[in-house]
Amino acid sequence: MPNGKPGDHPRTDLIIHNMKVYGEPTDSILRKLIGHMGQHKFDEWFNPIWPKSPEDIAREAGEKLETVESDARSRGFEIDE
């Protein structure tokens, strides 16, 4: 079971340990998603795709960010670019 040390999980590596995980821009996109979605909803979305290739994660993260930010804007939230 992960204990929060570096290398246990990409989310903690990105947020807590501020490590490079997938490289840019994917790491920044994932950090934005965590901020927009919160830890629980991010984990629900991310845990099933975590084992995929970095290319697949980059593609899916970009698509998810577009969806999340579009939804937020449509509900009147301002999104930092």
Report pLDDT digits (tens) over 1-40.
Answer: 567 788 878 888 998 899 999 999 999 999 999 999 999 9
For the chain, the structural domain boundaries read 26-68
Strands (E), the chain: none
Residue 81 is predicted with a pLDDT of 64
Q: Using alpha carbons, list the distances in angstroms from residue 80 to 26, 35, 41, 69, 72.
A: 17, 11, 20, 9, 11
Give the span between the Cα atoms of 31 and 18, in whole angstroms.
10
The pTM of this model reads: 0.87
